[in-house]
Chain A
Amino acid sequence: GDSVTQMEGPVTLSEEAFLTINCTYTATGYPSLFWYVQYPGEGLQLLLKATKADDKGSNKGFEATYRKETTSFHLEKGSVQVSDSAVYFCALSERNFGNEKLTFGTGTRLTIIP
């Protein structure tokens, strides 16, 4: 079955540091890939997405590129801020639309210190 393997946390960085959170996946078809973010006390919010190989998703300074050859979707940000502190989830869906069945990674807790 489908699976997502995500970099273990927690991750602690200083403000303005470079961020990478690794994510690799296993899927039978050609999945869509997502990064969701969970701020304290809240539900998950979509951060960015990519629906086919070599697509780059981007939002709020975060980027991730769909790499079919390495089955990866690593999340990056050039300069993190305290407000980026949250839990980040990599996820996949076997379909492009109507994502009622998402497969999630275990989540990576990110803490940014001033």
Chain B
Amino acid sequence: NAGVTQTPKFQVLKTGQSMTLQCAQDMNHEYMSWYRQDPGMGLRLIHYSVGAGITDQGEVPNGYNVSRSTTEDFPLRLLSAAPSQTSVYFCASSSLSGYEAFFGQGTRLTVV
């Protein structure tokens, strides 16, 4: 059982470049979320989705776009990377009827 799979695990970008962080889950969960983890700040919610075709902003959405065309996938797009987006990014999914959020292993992104 793969759970939540994130790719890539590591990425270095130059300022202004764009990229997409991939997230896929195989648990048929309705809810998916993206968080960023920064030292001394815990995890902060970027965007989330309650189902295919439905997304909404979290606490720190600026500079990021998301879409949810299928239940399984929830990609996070950086349109023009900035050094302030250097962080570790986690994708999570959860069931409409469950308590637990399942997390991927994370993507460590460095913007230079």
Contact = CB atoms under 8 A, between A and B. Distances in A.
Interface in B53-71: 58
Interface residues of B, number: 30
Interface stretch (B14-22, B76-84, B100-108): B100-108
Q: Dominant SS at the A interface?
A: loop
A55 to B, nearest CB: 12
A41 B9 CA distance: 10
Interface of B: 4, 30-33, 35, 40-45, 48-50, 58, 90, 92, 94-101, 103-106
B94 A104 contact: no
Contacts of B92: 44, 100, 102
A32 interface: yes
Interface of A: 4, 6, 32, 34, 41-46, 49, 51, 89, 96-107
B48 A101 contact: yes
Contacts of A41: 105
B43 A104 contact: yes
B42 A107 contact: yes
A43 B90 contact: yes
26 contacts: A4-B42, A42-B105, A43-B103, A43-B105, A43-B106, A44-B43, A44-B90, A45-B103, A46-B99, A46-B101, A49-B99, A51-B99, A97-B99, A98-B31, A98-B97, A99-B31, A99-B100, A99-B101, A100-B31, A100-B48, A100-B49, A100-B50, A102-B101, A104-B35, A104-B43, A106-B42
